[in-house]
Amino acid sequence: MLPPLLRLHHLLSAPSWTFPSLAAAAAPFPLRTPAISAPSAHHIPAHPEATCAAVNMQWEQQYRGIQRMRCGRDAPVDSFGCEVLAERGVSPRTFRFQTLVALMLSSQTKDEITAGAVRRMQQHSGGLTVENIASMSVESLQKLIYPVGFYRRKAEYLRKTANILLEQYAGDTHSTIEEIVMLPGVGPKMGYIFLNVAMERPEGIGVDVHVDRICNRLR
């Protein structure tokens, strides 16, 4: 039987994502290490084996509950997550750019709102391409992506990113995590998901605070 953390890791993996190692995410997103002090005599259970068995049984029940909850794959992220928003009939270069844009818009924003903004950009004159975004004004981008969180700042990031890609990478996206996180508004979480989805290179785990919270509750 797999250790608890690895079993949770398999549970949270979506079909289109691959999370190869917990160590890859540990560097940019270290889990909190709780302070440990020596227990006093009255805190030591009389039968530690029985206590451990009860805790393990409780963990198994919670784990099975999560399995049942997620078996339908009916959460908003399953239908509107960043990995499913890029158009499938476009060039590989445009597919990668659209995936990057979806990730940049997704921070502090509900999946449905992100999906709506990406669809509007795709349907806009010229489509969601690096050339079209670079040629648009920041004000026009703000109107397209509203009401995503921090839409004013993100519009500036999108235009700057499009110009960087055109000037330095012939309009294509970066290919390493070190390069991706140098783009304005892109952090390690976005970078690892981008490499996995757009480049088919699972080099790390894109997680947020909820994974930390769940792991701490289940251990």
User: Is 154 considered catalytic here?
Assistant: no
Tokens of residue 179, six digits: 């390069």
- 116, amino acid identity: G
Question: What is the 8-class DSSP label of residue 208?
Answer: -
Q: What does each C-alpha distance from 98 to 61, 119, 129, 212 come to in angstroms?
A: 40, 10, 7, 29
* Class of residue 3 by CB neighbours under 10 A (exposed 0-12, middle 13-18, buried 19+): exposed
Q: What does each C-alpha distance from 95 to 12, 20, 66, 206 come to in angstroms?
A: 25, 23, 33, 19
What one-character-per-residue DSSP string does 56-113 give? HHHHHHHHHHHHHHHTT--SHHHHH-GGG-S-TTS-HHHHHHHHHHHHHHHTTS-HHH
**Catalytically active residues, by annotation:** 189
